[in-house]
């Protein structure tokens, strides 16, 4: 079970600048799955391919976010350090990024012109 997103982040997903469709969670899941074939140095610049546990964690976190009513991300990209990143870019210059860095951890970043940058860590624990 993933720890919940911080209220400051959730309010951005549900605020007046919500994203207008365009991408679905199904598309997001297919894109995450499509990155499974990456190998180390997939970009020719030494990037590390995400491990299977990172993909599983990203897929599970995406399902949790979808169930919680979070809109699908603007884009999904593999990180150069073996992570999977889900990103939301809003027209009002607000940006949210969730970087799944391991099978049980994700970093959340919030950038908005009306506040200091925010950073939180989400953890996944075994269901009891």
Question: 7 is written with which tokens?
Answer: 């209220």
- Exposed (0-12), middle (13-18) or buried (19+): which is 109, by Cβ within 10 Å? middle
Q: DSSP string covering 6-53, please?
A: PHHHHHHHHSTT----SS-HHHHHHHHHHGGG--TTTTSS-PBPPPHH
Q: What is the pLDDT of residues 13-50, one digit of tens each?
A: 876 555 655 688 999 999 999 999 999 999 999 999 99
pLDDT tens digits, residue range 39-84? 999 999 999 999 999 999 999 999 999 998 899 999 999 999 999 9
* Model pTM score: 0.90
Where along the chain do its domains lie? Answer: 7-123
State how far the Cα of 53 lies from the Cα of 51, in Å rounded to an integer.
5
């Amino acid at each position: 079970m993933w720890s919940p997103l911080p209220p400051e982040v959730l309010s951005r997903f549900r605020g007046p600048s919500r994203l207008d469709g365009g991408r679905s969670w199904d598309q997001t899941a297919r894109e995450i799955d499509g990155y499974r074939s990456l190998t180390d140095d997939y970009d020719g610049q030494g990037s590390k391919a995400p491990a299977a546990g990172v993909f599983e964690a990203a897929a599970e976190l995406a399902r949790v976010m979808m169930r919680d009513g979070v809109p699908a991300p603007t884009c999904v990209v593999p990180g150069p350090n073996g992570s999977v990143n889900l990103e939301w870019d809003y027209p009002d210059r607000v940006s949210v990024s969730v970087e799944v860095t391991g099978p049980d951890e994700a970093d959340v970043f919030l950038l908005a012109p009306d506040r200091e940058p925010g950073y939180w860590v989400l953890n996944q624990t075994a269901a009891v």
